[in-house]
Structures are given as C-alpha cells and as structure tokens.
Homo-oligomer: A and B are copies of this chain.
Amino acid sequence: MNLPLKGIIPPMVTPLNSQMELDIPGLEKLVEHLVSGGVHALFLLGSNGEAPSLSHEIQKELISRTCELVDNRIPVLVGVSDTCMTRTIEIAGFARDEGAGGVVVAPPYYYPLSGEEVINYYESLSRKLPLPFLIYNLPSHTKINLTVEAVKRIREMGAVGIKDSSGDMLNLYSLIEAFRDSPEFSVITGTEIFLPATILHGGHGAIAGGANLFPELFVNLYEASVAGDLKAITKHRRKVMMLYQTIYRVGKHASRYLKGTKCGLSVMGICEDHIAPPLQRFEPDEREEVKKYMEHLSLMQ
C-alpha cells in the first residue's frame, strides 16, 4: 500500500439478503461499481458496513470475497474495531492473510474511556497488529474524541493516518496543520461534504459513504479539489450537498444515512437493502422517497 493513502475511499456497505447472509451477487456488482467508478481504495466493515452487527463468520466471508473480487486493483482496508482486543487482532490477521492492505481501528466503544486509557490501548494493540493501521475518530459512537496530541502519539506507534468522523471541521484543520510535516501520514475526513475544504487545506481524502452510490461524482470532486478548479468544485459539491438534502434526510433516526445509502443501491439494482439488527431497512414509503430522489440526482449528473 503506497503512503500516504489518499483519494476517495468508500466505506462499503455490506450487501445482505433477507436471511441476513451475504448477498453474493450484490457484492460482486457493488465491488465492480466502485472499482470501475475510480475510487482509490475500499474500506470494509466500518459503520456503513454494519461491522458491529455482523457475526464473525459473515465478517470473514466478506473480507475473503471482497479481496478476491478486487484482486489487488486497489487497496482494501478492513475495519477491525471491537470491544475485545483479542478479537481485533484475530480479524486483522485474517485480513492480512486474505490480502488486505491495512486496517482501521476506533477506540473500543463500550466503556467510557479516558484519553490515557485510549493511548494505552493503541500502544498495546499496535505491537500486535500485522498490518498498517488508520486511527478512526468517531466520538458519536465511541464516546471519546481523540485530541490532536493523542493522534500524534498514536502516529508514533505506527499509525499511517486518521479518519476523522468528528464532524468538526476545526478539528480536521488542526489535524492537517499538526501533520503538515509528516508527508506519509494521511488526514482523511469522514464527513463527505468536507472533502473540498479538506483537500484545499492540505488533507488527503475522504471516506465518503455517498461514494457507494456515486463513486465517479466523488472522484471528480476530489480531482477538482486537487486541481484547485473552483468552478468544477462548485458544480460537483452542489450535487453532494443534494445528497444531504435528499437521500440522507429520508427517515427519522440517526442511522438514516446508512439506510438511505443501502436503499439507494437497491433502487439502482446493485444489491439488496436488508440491514442487520438492531437497524432495519426502510419501509416502502421511505423507499419510494429514496427512489424519487435517486431519479432526480441521476438527472443532475
């Protein structure tokens, strides 16, 4: 895996059928949709990938199948966050054996942890990880926000980048400043609408859920940002903003961005939209809404 990691990295949804098994034909179509869309890497088993809701068996099957389908065309990153460190190490080893290029690790998300405990956790874990790792900052789920200082220390343990999903642009800017002189360390936003600002200020890319649906749109926005082409940025980001105002607004719970993404893919005929408990796929009327929006968004392209 070339460093720094950069570009558009979809946090891939995990296609499931009604039996809560892997939707294999859906997975095949999804991987081709993304790779042919030009994305720079894949990120499996993040929040969008429903990792915490899936059994270990399905997680492993997903890793194997995806690595096989991607066949080294782009790097595959695997989310290995878990409340149990033994389990994190085990799945990371499995991912390496299947050909993944790196792993992504959020702090354990059950106990409310202090900054010091999180540092100790990464210290202890990093010695046992068989692959390069990205830090995953996701305070809404883990109940802790990693400070710039903490990220610096974890970089010294070997982290190759950070995915910041704090939603806090000032935090993101501070990370970019802090690692301006560490050219191999990636600062990647987890908030897709922050992509142009991230790139314009010196960051590296976006783990963008919407890239599941529209990989080319995000790749175009990334390239326009790298080129500093304000006109093209304005055009593409307008459409990304529309995602927030349409697909991500259907339904009423915090998880609707995930439900909307999976539903949109189903509307496109790419994969099924079943979702593992505790979440549930959209009801028919919500699906109708997504369908209408998808048509509208397609016309914009």
A residues neighboring B (CB under 8 Å):
20, 47, 52-55, 83-87, 107-114, 116-118, 120-121, 124-125, 140-141, 143, 167-170, 173-174, 177, 191, 193-194, 196-197, 200-201, 228, 230, 233-234, 237, 241, 244-245, 252-255, 276-280
| Chain B hits for A237, CB < 8 A | 201
Query: Given A47-B111, A109-B109, A111-B47, are A120 and B173 also a contact pair (CB < 8 Å)?
Result: no
How far, in whole Å, are A277 and B84 apart by their CA atoms in the complex?
A: 7
| Chain B hits for A276, CB < 8 A | 84-85
How far, in whole Å, are A85 and B278 apart by their CA atoms in the complex?
A: 7
| Chain B hits for A87, CB < 8 A | 55
Q: CB < 8 Å: which of B20, B114, B196 contacts A253?
A: B114
The quantity of this chain's copies bound in the complex is: 4
Query: Given A169-B194, A201-B237, are A53 and B84 also a contact pair (CB < 8 Å)?
Result: yes
Q: Are A120 and B278 in contact (CB under 8 A)?
A: yes
How far, in whole Å, are A79 and B121 apart by their CA atoms in the complex?
A: 24
Task: Please name 17 further chain A to chain B contacts, defined as beta carbons within 8 Å, in addition to the given A108-B277, A173-B193, A200-B233, sorted by A numbering.
Answer: A52-B110, A52-B111, A53-B108, A53-B111, A55-B86, A84-B276, A85-B276, A109-B110, A111-B141, A111-B254, A112-B140, A113-B255, A113-B278, A120-B277, A120-B280, A170-B194, A174-B244
How far, in whole Å, are A47 and B113 apart by their CA atoms in the complex?
A: 13
| Chain B hits for A107, CB < 8 A | 278
| A104 nearest CB across to chain B (Å) | 15
Q: CB < 8 Å: which of B112, B168, B252 contacts A167?
A: B168
| A165 nearest CB across to chain B (Å) | 12
Query: Given A85-B53, A111-B141, are A116 and B253 also a contact pair (CB < 8 Å)?
Result: yes
Query: Given A47-B111, A193-B170, A278-B111, are A53 and B83 also a contact pair (CB < 8 Å)?
Result: yes
Q: Are B53 and A117 in contact (CB under 8 A)?
A: no
| Chain B hits for A54, CB < 8 A | 84
Pairs A-B, 4 closest by C-beta atoms: A52-B83, A52-B110, A169-B169, A121-B278
Query: Given A111-B254, A112-B141, are A84 and B52 also a contact pair (CB < 8 Å)?
Result: yes
| Chain B hits for A112, CB < 8 A | 140-141, 254-255
| Chain B hits for A254, CB < 8 A | 111-114
Q: CB < 8 Å: which of B55, B109, B114, B230 contacts A200?
A: B230
- 30 residue pairs bridging A and B, Cβ less than 8 Å apart: A53-B84, A53-B110, A55-B84, A85-B278, A108-B277, A109-B110, A111-B141, A111-B278, A112-B255, A113-B253, A113-B254, A114-B254, A117-B253, A117-B255, A117-B279, A121-B277, A143-B143, A167-B168, A167-B170, A169-B194, A169-B197, A170-B191, A170-B244, A173-B193, A174-B244, A174-B245, A196-B200, A197-B197, A228-B230, A230-B230
